Amino acid sequence: MENASNCLAIVGATLLDGTGVVPRPSATILVEGERIVAIGDGSLEIPRGARRIDAPGKYVITGLMDANVHLFYVNTPDHLVRYEGRYEAVIAEAAQIALRSGVTTVFDTWGPRAALTVVRDQINRGERVGSRIFFAGNIIGLGGPTSADFFPIARQVLGTAEADAMDARWEQGVGADLLWCTPEEVRSRVRRYIAEGDQDFLKYAGSGHTHMQFIAFSEPVQRLIVEEAHFAGLTVQAHTTSPESLRMEIEADADLLQHPDITGAAPLPPDLLERMVKQQLPCAAMFVTQRYLDWNLKNGQQPMKSFRQIQARNDRDLVAAGARLLLTTDGGVLPPDTADHPLLSAAVLAEDSPTVLGEGHFRWLEAAAELGLSPMEALKAGTSNVAHAYHVAEDLGTVEVGKLADMLILDEDPLTDSRHYRALHTVIKGGIVIDRETLPTERVVTAALSR
Amino acid sequence: MENASNCLAIVGATLLDGTGVVPRPSATILVEGERIVAIGDGSLEIPRGARRIDAPGKYVITGLMDANVHLFYVNTPDHLVRYEGRYEAVIAEAAQIALRSGVTTVFDTWGPRAALTVVRDQINRGERVGSRIFFAGNIIGLGGPTSADFFPIARQVLGTAEADAMDARWEQGVGADLLWCTPEEVRSRVRRYIAEGDQDFLKYAGSGHTHMQFIAFSEPVQRLIVEEAHFAGLTVQAHTTSPESLRMEIEADADLLQHPDITGAAPLPPDLLERMVKQQLPCAAMFVTQRYLDWNLKNGQQPMKSFRQIQARNDRDLVAAGARLLLTTDGGVLPPDTADHPLLSAAVLAEDSPTVLGEGHFRWLEAAAELGLSPMEALKAGTSNVAHAYHVAEDLGTVEVGKLADMLILDEDPLTDSRHYRALHTVIKGGIVIDRETLPTERVVTAALSR
Amino acid sequence: MENASNCLAIVGATLLDGTGVVPRPSATILVEGERIVAIGDGSLEIPRGARRIDAPGKYVITGLMDANVHLFYVNTPDHLVRYEGRYEAVIAEAAQIALRSGVTTVFDTWGPRAALTVVRDQINRGERVGSRIFFAGNIIGLGGPTSADFFPIARQVLGTAEADAMDARWEQGVGADLLWCTPEEVRSRVRRYIAEGDQDFLKYAGSGHTHMQFIAFSEPVQRLIVEEAHFAGLTVQAHTTSPESLRMEIEADADLLQHPDITGAAPLPPDLLERMVKQQLPCAAMFVTQRYLDWNLKNGQQPMKSFRQIQARNDRDLVAAGARLLLTTDGGVLPPDTADHPLLSAAVLAEDSPTVLGEGHFRWLEAAAELGLSPMEALKAGTSNVAHAYHVAEDLGTVEVGKLADMLILDEDPLTDSRHYRALHTVIKGGIVIDRETLPTERVVTAALSR
Amino acid sequence: MENASNCLAIVGATLLDGTGVVPRPSATILVEGERIVAIGDGSLEIPRGARRIDAPGKYVITGLMDANVHLFYVNTPDHLVRYEGRYEAVIAEAAQIALRSGVTTVFDTWGPRAALTVVRDQINRGERVGSRIFFAGNIIGLGGPTSADFFPIARQVLGTAEADAMDARWEQGVGADLLWCTPEEVRSRVRRYIAEGDQDFLKYAGSGHTHMQFIAFSEPVQRLIVEEAHFAGLTVQAHTTSPESLRMEIEADADLLQHPDITGAAPLPPDLLERMVKQQLPCAAMFVTQRYLDWNLKNGQQPMKSFRQIQARNDRDLVAAGARLLLTTDGGVLPPDTADHPLLSAAVLAEDSPTVLGEGHFRWLEAAAELGLSPMEALKAGTSNVAHAYHVAEDLGTVEVGKLADMLILDEDPLTDSRHYRALHTVIKGGIVIDRETLPTERVVTAALSR
């Protein structure tokens, strides 16, 4: 360890390593390059030349991980047009906003594959700053942004070929027309989708997005999608929105359930809850604070208003039963014209809206506390649980020797108050101390609009 | 056989008995009361006092049976309001229009249960004239006429409680909210539906009505619906609109497939076709004439236009493969303001539209010939196949001793030209010669509108 | 005066005769047949055989007159269908509801001419009970109920010929297509409209109904409509909704301004206010209570919400300036499914909604008091002002000898509290004491809906 | 004339000078700087150093002038977003497309004032190439692109403040809310509009744009708008869409009638036609070819389909009666996604659509011939008539000494066949020979879309 210029030492903080063991006070964490190479107490030798961060009285946790974001979130027809040709910049900006707020890893579960690939790789190669990105591309079985599954009004204001081209960036051959296909055709289309792209994991629609109560794929078809994913070495998650679709996805052996707390007009059936807990199936539940629920009760529109209240009940049940929970926000970056936007205003005007990237994860952690999740379990939900669910725990999810050095230094103890996650002092990703003030380096979606 | 005033003899016609055997020339058919008591040749003794119909040169077939009609077809919001309070009269008029045109038995597969019960029973007791009615009530899993499954615009022009009350006449506890339910809840709701009503058979939505590509119920739920039906001694059919929903329904052991030729954007998968043929599953396929297809190609709107062309291909495949086919029209009686009605005009303006009750069955039979179905198989599709599929073959479907005396006397041989079914000379139902000129006895839907 | 069986004497009440003179205590009012024949004090001789109503401590006023109602108010597409074929019964019911609540004369300013003619004449001949009806038929230049001027959504749910036939009952050749016509054509169409019908007065659209800010007719065209009306001996009023349309109507010499307080987004211009006051032009202003305004501020939708607040300001100005005011409600009878009706609920749910026939006039009188109108002027606004404006003061509008005996006996003094108009003791119309309990004699619109 | 490097001589062509005199064969036209300094025959001396264009067998006319274009034509919500921030480039591109096709002067009658000012001035200063631009800015009394007057669906897909900001670029204080104003307020708003901007002329809405049959301003208000324009030395034109609005505009002394052939559902009244002819009021009539009319009859939608046929009849009447006609196209530049655009496709798919900038003027001239306009009158309609109507005849509209040297050299005689206007050989503007191949210099709206 002669030349230690690529070394970093964090000295004196209390370490919450994310494994669930009791906090370790006055720890010294030694990073070399992008990985953690040693963890010890004050006696651990720090190489000469190493950068040293003295952090007594502070707390070190692993970088937060969000199991569900949409880095390209500007999907209404006007925004699609506005950001046309700038997909990569939009995605990079979002990855920086996430990183700035302590989310060192994001899992993008629905987005334009080509642009996501470029930005992910640029970040991985160090050419851009930003959260680590893992992405799925399309939700298998759903259409793109202008389709009936998302903003069909787009088809009233956009040229058809233009809208088709936009949708194609998401769909990539596994869009909504898959629902007409035979199992063999689905298999072949999914296989091609896997072969042609470099996505990190798969996501499929167990049920509809707009038409939440409908089932998208029969159980055999769900199984074969899971098979194809596993054959390719990918985890596969299910988009789920109704009790019976949830059952089907569990039976189909999906690796991760994306918002199993969304069950529409009926609560989570007890037998399914029991199975999820027993199998410790990763549940990416969209926790919201009571403040949000109150806003929803007052301002929400039916039927989503009722659905949200039922979801809140499911969330309480999931916590109480001991489900394996993952922090998930569905978050994205919204442009300045969102608050008075006819298609978006409700979401963004909500108090404690969970879907605001850079804020949503804090709200999730606060909501978790309100729901009775223990502080340690909440920390794991935002770190190691996500890493395990996505099969990236070898590198991520805890502060342990050999892992990638993604760490947050907090001014306050997050175990005593969930709001302390906001007391971000330093963000370290891959051994590099992030200059948060400079992020995002280029404003695209958050840029002021000319008037 | 002293007192033969309740006897009827048809003498001298060629009998096509519907069993598939070769026609029997110069037959004598003897009816006593509502049943056929003897069939012979010229030597058969005719009781004194019997009414005698001399029919040399004519043809006798069993009364036609339509596997899918909607006697209450006036479901747009304006029509629901117009015919409010007159459901029974509307249904009776339709049953008479069917009877008048040679359809002695209809299977109503979606309608208001209470009114259907009343009219069916009145007809069965001889208090009203009309086709024999067998009905399902609601399609389990679909909403009523003003719901998202049919004419959601109704909710923009009708009071909410009023629309709810209308829908409730169809839904009867097994409406669209069933899609949110757990299997146990579905079972309990279906069981109650069976217990509370006097429907003749069940029908459930394998897939959506408006959202055709979506699956309505998981396979286990479909199975339990079938189980409940069978436990109650009822046949159960599936409403099917996509290849994968068809597969699920076959696996769920549905007794009858309602329009398995409707597979949306993709053709009927060969393996499913093979299974249906092998198991001789009753296929109520909605045949249309080439004239209709031409009209559709010229005037239809996407995506239904393409779907129709694919359906036509499926129809050809079903005939060629030897599927067990049933005559099915989806027919109803339309009011005078249909042709220029914004929600209906397309259907009724179509040339050879299959859904016009009183005409549709003739068009189906003509289409069958165009599709290459043999004349004898076509006759069976409109008679004995339907009777067997609905488990009423003990009484209906053929001209045989012991059966109910539902017969048509035709002026021309229907086996030489499918258009000869239109050459109706006499309609006999339950041994009674129908005075066709007097039907419908009361004009409701077909009455002229005041101006 | 031998045979006095057709005589009626009201004895001992305080008479507020509507002329504006001071109340006359202990009056005796003598009616013979349908007219008032004498008014005196206790010394007035009452013919033997006369029916005598002792009313000491009570108050007699002339029957109230509403300058703007719509007896056929059920104009949404569903209601048009529901009440099809029952127009006369609907109108008669409304006329009875008005009469029951003390409105002995109504001016119907937009309705189906043929049915209004029949009911008006039946009432006048004594064949039906009901308020005296004077009517305009169509608003010249506006379309019928299903047109763009009222409920265009009707055209999405009704057959075209059916909707056309409905509209024609209103339009009668002077509908919205008049806006395309040359002055000569307008003149010819209006002349024919006058010649072919038996309407009591005319009303034309100075500006739009839905598109309130637009002008419907140029000034020369407005003038010629006024000319044609006057030539035929009819009063003519203008539907007015914007400041500039109001100016044009004043210049065109319209006899009566229907809701000149409605000026949309801008207040009533001072110069127009001054002119209306100076010329004492009859202003049928739609006063509302503060309670209604508060409701509107809380629940109203833009832009009507703002328009209403501006209208309220105009109303205060009209009162303060001394305009000649007429009680006007725009009232109608609403069916039971109004409260949850998507096209109607806002109106009927409003607190103190002015447009509820049978209630609206009471609210108008209460609003007048809130706005500072003197009790005597308010009484005149609801009686003699209306009679003069419509040129029927020879027979109606005051309790004077020679006038038709339309009178209300109140338990409390309406000059001390505007709510006392509700203290209706007896309604007399044309000398006949109305049996209010029996009204409406036939329930049509107010009948319960079958469920 | 020592230094003649800024001189240009066109030698040998037949000159059609636009004054209406007989063509002058073998003319020599001498230009110095931007003006024509001499016109003679072969004997005219050409300064040494002058650039010489030998044009025997060719034809010289003055540059064409279009009385009605929209250089910023991309007003659907998606296009507004796409070209946000690039208004000037969009306008410049359109001015170049016009120039390239022989239209040396355009009158923009509805557009974003600030950007038009910049581009007009740049062109006038020689900093940009393009047609001479004269513009009005807003149509007084109409809203911007996202308002109810144009594409109200925009308000369903754009943020409110964003849409407001877009509209404001057009409205500039004289938008649709003007219809609520008193005459004094209108005067004050128009005066401010004139004072704050540098528009070349004014245009006001005599009637509605979407609601064509409605009148926007009373006659006194129209008069005062005209007064204000004239006081400021500006010509003022009226947007007219109905017979009665046309009458009002004539009475209000508008200088120019923009599309007086558009009279909606009724034809042009003979008395108005007579007045326009007698006063020789400039009529910017939107002539279309028979080919376009045939397309419209086959593919048009009501009511515009009928309106177009009536308009064609008006056009024939205008020509026959000898009205003073101006070439007017309402033309603009459309982006590549127009043909399959739900809000635009009809216009652009029409055969011989008049509104395609760069093509529309040729079609207008061809239509003029079809309508029977003499070749010489057609030429004047596209040149000197426009110049006179807009009060720019001192500089433009004919090829005469002292005028600006805007000229086209044609390979064929436009008087023998109206299609010969397409035989453009050379475009000269202000004495400069335009390099047509290089236009547009920057592709914005016409650039290919990325896919």
**Are 3 or more Cβ–Cβ pairs between C and A shorter than 8 Å?**
no
Residue C350 clears pLDDT 90, i.e. is over it: no
Average pLDDT over residues C255-265: 97
Residue B3 clears pLDDT 70, i.e. is over it: no
Given this model, what pLDDT does residue B1 score?
42
DSSP of B396-443, one letter per residue? Answer: SSS--TTSB--EEEESS-TTT-GGGGG-EEEEEETTEE--GGG-SSS-
**Distances from the Cα of D260 to the Cα of C428, D246, D317, angstroms:** 60, 7, 12
Average pLDDT over residues C48-55: 95
B160 and C78 within 8 Å at the Cβ level: the answer is: no
Nearest chain A Cα to B249, which residue?
Answer: A218
Give which of B186, B212, B222, B244 to mutate to test A binding, by max A Cβ within 10 Å: B244
- Residues in chain D with CB shorter than 8 Å from the CB of C242 are 179-180
Residue C401 pLDDT class (50, 70, 90 cuts): very high
Residue A345 pLDDT class (50, 70, 90 cuts): confident
Nearest chain B Cα to C79, which residue?
Answer: B81
Residue A340 clears pLDDT 60, i.e. is over it: yes
ipTM of the complex: 0.94
**How close is the nearest chain D Cα to the Cα of C242, in Å?**
6
Closest residue to D216, CB basis, from C177, C214, C221: C214
Give which of B162, B343, B349 to mutate to test C binding, by max C Cβ within 10 Å: B162
Q: Count CA atoms within 13 Å of residue C120 on its CB side.
A: 22
Please choose, from the candidates A385, A250, A251, the residue with its C-alpha nearest in 3D space to the C-alpha of residue A322: A385
Whole-prediction pTM: 0.95
Given this model, what pLDDT does residue C338 score?
93
Residue A3 clears pLDDT 60, i.e. is over it: no
Given this model, what pLDDT does residue C201 score?
98
Given this model, what pLDDT does residue D1 score?
42
Given this model, what pLDDT does residue C349 score?
76
Give which of A83, A150, A156, A157 to mutate to test D binding, by max D Cβ within 10 Å: A157
What percent of chain C lies above the pLDDT cut of 70? 98
B/e letters for B42-78, b = 16+ CB within 10 Å, e = fewer, are eeeebbeebeebebeebbbbbbbbbbbbbbbbbbbbb
B78 and C160 within 8 Å at the Cβ level: the answer is: no
Average pLDDT over residues A292-317: 95
Given this model, what pLDDT does residue D17 score?
94
Given this model, what pLDDT does residue C1 score?
42
- Residues in chain A with CB shorter than 8 Å from the CB of D156 are 153, 342-343
**How close is the nearest chain A Cα to the Cα of B89, in Å?**
36
Given this model, what pLDDT does residue C450 score?
78
Three-class secondary structure assignment of C95-125: HHHHHHCCEEEEEECCCCHHHHHHHHHHHHC
C78 and B81 within 8 Å at the Cβ level: the answer is: yes
Average pLDDT over residues C396-421: 98
Please write the tens of the pLDDT for every residue from A119-140: 999 999 999 999 999 999 999 9
Residue C3 pLDDT class (50, 70, 90 cuts): low
Q: For the CA atoms of chain B, what is the radius of gyration?
A: 21
Average pLDDT over residues B115-120: 98
- Provide block-wise average pLDDT over 10 residues at a time, chain D (451 residues): 78 95 95 97 93 97 98 98 97 98 98 98 98 98 98 97 98 98 97 98 97 97 98 98 98 98 97 98 98 94 94 98 98 94 82 94 98 98 98 98 98 98 98 98 94 68
Nearest chain A Cα to D339, which residue?
Answer: A159
What residues form DSSP beta bridges with C207? C215
Average pLDDT over residues A138-146: 98
The whole-angstrom separation of Cα A81 and Cα A335 is 13
If one counts every other C-beta atom within 10 angstroms of the C-beta of residue D45, the result is 12
How many residues belong to chain C?
A: 451
The whole-angstrom separation of Cα D424 and Cα D412 is 8
Please check whether residue A80 is in contact with residue A157, taking contact to mean a CB–CB distance below 8 angstroms.
no
Closest residue to D157, CB basis, from A76, A165, A449: A76
**Distances from the Cα of A152 to the Cα of A157, A273, B153, C30, D297, angstroms:** 10, 34, 17, 73, 31
Give the pair of three-digit tokens for residue D99.
Answer: 């120039």
Nearest chain B Cα to C166, which residue?
Answer: B451
**How close is the nearest chain D Cα to the Cα of C202, in Å?**
21
**Are 3 or more Cβ–Cβ pairs between D and C shorter than 8 Å?**
yes
Please write the tens of the pLDDT for every residue from A208-267: 999 999 999 999 999 999 999 999 999 999 999 999 999 999 999 999 999 999 999 999
Please write the tens of the pLDDT for every residue from D136-175: 999 999 999 999 999 999 999 999 999 999 999 999 999 9
Phi, psi angle pair for D24, to nearest 5°: -110, 110
Please write the tens of the pLDDT for every residue from C79-128: 999 999 999 999 999 999 999 999 999 999 999 999 999 999 999 999 99
Phi, psi angle pair for A290, to nearest 5°: -65, -35
Given this model, what pLDDT does residue A415 score?
97
Distance of CA C13 to the CA centre of its chain: 28
Interface of B with A (CB under 8 A): 176-177, 179-183, 185, 208, 211, 213-219, 221, 242-245, 247-248, 263-266, 269, 271
C244 and D208 within 8 Å at the Cβ level: the answer is: no
- DSSP strand pairing (C236-239 vs C256-258): parallel
- DSSP strand pairing (C59-62 vs C7-15): parallel
Closest residue to B157, CB basis, from C77, C84, C85: C77
Nearest chain D Cα to A342, which residue?
Answer: D156
Given this model, what pLDDT does residue B20 score?
85
Phi, psi angle pair for A275, to nearest 5°: -65, -45
Residue B345 clears pLDDT 80, i.e. is over it: no
The 8-class DSSP code of residue C291 comes to: H
| Partners of chain D (3+ Cβ pairs below 8 A) | A, C
D243 and C214 within 8 Å at the Cβ level: the answer is: no
Give which of A83, A84, A87, A158 to mutate to test D binding, by max D Cβ within 10 Å: A158
Give which of D147, D164, D180 to mutate to test C binding, by max C Cβ within 10 Å: D180
Please check whether residue C382 is in contact with residue C12, taking contact to mean a CB–CB distance below 8 angstroms.
no
Distance of CA D157 to the CA centre of its chain: 31
- Residues in chain C with CB shorter than 8 Å from the CB of B338 are 159
D248 and C214 within 8 Å at the Cβ level: the answer is: no
Phi, psi angle pair for A187, to nearest 5°: -60, -45
